[in-house]
Amino acid sequence: MPLRLDSRDPGFAAAFTALVEGRREADEDVSRDVSAIIATVRTHGDAALANYTSRFDRHELEASGWRIERSDCDRALAGLESGLREALELAATRIEAYHTAQRPSDSERTDSAGVRMGARWSAVDAAGLYVPGGRAAYPSSVLMNAIPARVAGVDRLVMVTPTPDGLVNPLVLAAAALAGVDEVWRIGGAQAIAALAYGTDRIRPVDVIVGPGNAWVAEAKRQLYGVVGIDMVAGPSEIVVVADKDNDPAWIAADLLSQAEHDPTSQSILFTDDMAFANAVAIEVEAQLGRLPTETTARASWADNGAIITLASLDEVPALSDRLAPEHLELAVADPQALFDRVRHAGSVFLGRYAPEAVGDYVAGPNHVLPTGRRARFASGLSVLDFMKRTSFIALDAAAIAAIGPAAVALAKAEGLPAHAASVAARLER
């Protein structure tokens, strides 16, 4: 059964703190295994990738092929049923429009001392996209990861995806074609992350790696950050739904289950100020679970990590939600903006009764790759900026260095760096 809390109960503060601090990451200690995999791939390259693929994905790369050609992706896209293709194209169009608006502009100015300065934005040369091949093989994630990179101006976009038993997900390939992915490789796991970071004889290295994955993939990204850039170290999915009594309990139950069906470690939490409504949602969740093809996963998630929290007032929501810093926050209330104005920490917020989180997973436009595990306190969702970097520039003439150079000389001498001081002073003397 999910956790039931009431903010008016004497033990609420301690119980809510335990909920906030609870860990849902995989229990396995994967760090040592991942370190060994990374080291093996760095040393043995393609031979290591072939061995790991044989062991974990049960097919031989030399027989099935290392790379999925662009023509295969194009055929997958052409073969889609028309309604599904139109849906995928609508999603791609909206995602591209949203992320195009994110592109930063170069800046430049000349200040009163005559110093010209500014910043220029440029894309990384190559980006790697990890696409899971098991439970979470989602074409929507291909679009959400690849399209911002393309909008940023990345020259080379490389996708890695495991193909268990040699089988390929045609929807993933169709999305790759639509998003303009340049290379698709049949490898997965921590070994694929290592190959993208260090390169092998077949696969050239990239500069940034993005995309979801299991605990081994997440750990590999964490360990290789610095060798390459990464989007984030993501954990299990989560949603907080805030709902008053004027909602349909069936809608809210479906919203909670939309995250629960991702994984047994996902988390769905309801905040409401009405006990009768809370009970109605609990009953509706149980009824819907029995009809879900994903019941086994969703039921485990709801039972182990779900929570229904009844509050004296919805005014308590912002402070409590900020402590959770959820990946997704749904405000299904009469005046969602009033609550949103007081929320500081959330990956993405969905305003009103007609904005379910699931629409954001597909066609709304903003990115669905978001910080989990309370990381929304300090991190943001994937954006065009994850594929770009800013280079500052400074230009001085004789008058400008005469105006600010003496201060630089004084500071360099104070720091005990005489060569720094001499570098500036030489130009002042002339």
For residues 275 and 402, membership in a common domain is answered with: no
Q: What is the mean pLDDT of the chain?
A: 96
Sheet of 238-243: strands edge to edge?
Answer: 3-6, 307-310, 267-272, 238-243, 328-332, 348-351
Select which of 262, 328, 345, 368 is catalytic.
328
- State yes or no: is 345 an active-site residue: no
User: What total of structural domains would you count in the chain?
Assistant: 3
* Percent of the chain predicted with pLDDT > 90: 93
What number is the average pLDDT over the span 61-88? 96
Burial track 91-113 (b if 16+ CB lie within 10 A, e otherwise): bbebbbebbeeebeeeeeeeeee
User: Angle at the Cα of 57 (from 53 to 61), degrees rounded to 5?
Assistant: 45
Res. 254 pLDDT band, cuts 50 70 90: very high
Res. 105 pLDDT band, cuts 50 70 90: very high
The residue that leads in pLDDT, 286 or 167, is: 286
What per-residue confidence (pLDDT) applies to 216?
93
Res. 1 pLDDT band, cuts 50 70 90: confident
Domain containing residue 293: CATH number: 3.40.50.1980
Res. 28 pLDDT band, cuts 50 70 90: low
Of 220, 217, 205, 13, give the one whose Cα is nearest residue 124.
Answer: 205
What per-residue confidence (pLDDT) applies to 137?
73
324-372 residue pLDDT tens: 999 999 999 999 999 999 999 999 999 999 999 999 999 999 999 999 9
* Percent of the chain predicted with pLDDT > 70: 98
For residues 126 and 261, membership in a common domain is answered with: no
What number is the average pLDDT over the span 390-404? 98
For residues 51 and 156, membership in a common domain is answered with: yes
For residues 54 and 202, membership in a common domain is answered with: yes
For residues 326 and 195, membership in a common domain is answered with: no
223-244 residue pLDDT tens: 999 999 999 998 899 999 999 9
One-letter amino acid for residue 259 of the chain: Q
What number is the average pLDDT over the span 306-321? 98
Q: Does residue 112 belong to any structural domain of this protein?
A: no
Q: Containing domain of residue 277, as a range?
A: 235-377
For residues 214 and 249, membership in a common domain is answered with: no
- State yes or no: is 327 an active-site residue: yes
What per-residue confidence (pLDDT) applies to 134?
62
CB 304, CB 27: distance < 8 Å: no
Does residue 135 register a pLDDT over 60?
no
What per-residue confidence (pLDDT) applies to 29?
83
What number is the average pLDDT over the span 244-260? 98
For residues 203 and 239, membership in a common domain is answered with: no
For residues 407 and 347, membership in a common domain is answered with: no
Does residue 287 register a pLDDT over 70?
yes
169-211 residue pLDDT tens: 999 999 999 999 999 999 999 999 999 999 999 999 999 999 9
- Between CA 244 and CA 335 the distance in angstroms is 10
Domain edge (last residue) among 178, 198, 230: 230
Select which of 183, 238, 327, 330 is catalytic.
327
For residues 258 and 173, membership in a common domain is answered with: no
Does residue 26 register a pLDDT over 60?
no
